[in-house]
Structure 1
Amino acid sequence: MKLSKQFQLYESEATQFIKGLKQANPALEQSQRDGRALLWDKAPIDLDTQQRTKESRINQQAYVYQNKG
């Protein structure tokens, strides 16, 4: 979709804010990547460990507060 010439150079206030923020703090993107790696990027799980964990689980009873007896 081609916009008219008057709208081709338009930037929203949010875009202008983000560009200004990145110009003021050039290390911002790297710190964002580091934060993502810390919270979300995890090491691959070993399949043998995953299988042992699955097999060692104990099933929980349907109502945990009821005593078997």
Structure 2
Amino acid sequence: MYESEHTRFMRELFAKKPELAAEQQRGRAIWWDRPAQSPEDRRRAAEAQVRQKAYPYQV
């Protein structure tokens, strides 16, 4: 079965550094996994948004 160089590299890397998977998950949690916002937080965020003009260059 064909295995690309990149796939082989990743398999070897994870074999050498098993803690890398946990580090990946921690990194993902920092940037992507956000706790659910309360209705109050969502309301404040919606109120804080500035309405954009239909044509951005309109003065």
TM-score, normalising length: structure 2: 0.69
Extract unaligned runs of 5+ from structure 1: 1-8
List aligned pairs for 1:8-23, cutoff 5 A: 9-23=1-15
Deviation at 1:48?
2.3
User: Greater share of helix residues, 1 or 2?
Assistant: 2
Kindly report the root-mean-square deviation, in angstroms, between the aligned alpha carbons of the 2 structures. 2.2
- Which protein has greater RCO, CA pairs closer than 8 Å, 6+ apart? 2
Q: Which residue of structure 1 aligns with residue 39 of structure 2?
A: 47
List aligned pairs for 1:26-65, cutoff 5 A: 26-51=18-43, 53=44, 54-55=46-47, 57=48
Distance in 2 separating the partners of 1:59 and 1:23: 49
Deviation at 1:49?
2.7
Per the alignment, in what secondary structure is the counterpart of residue 26 of structure 1? Answer: coil
Identity of aligned residues (%): 31
Letter in 2 for 1:25: K
Count matched residues. 52
Extract unaligned runs of 5+ from structure 2: 54-58
Runs of 4 or more off by more than 6 Å in structure 1? none
TM-score, normalising length: structure 1: 0.61
Larger Rg: 1
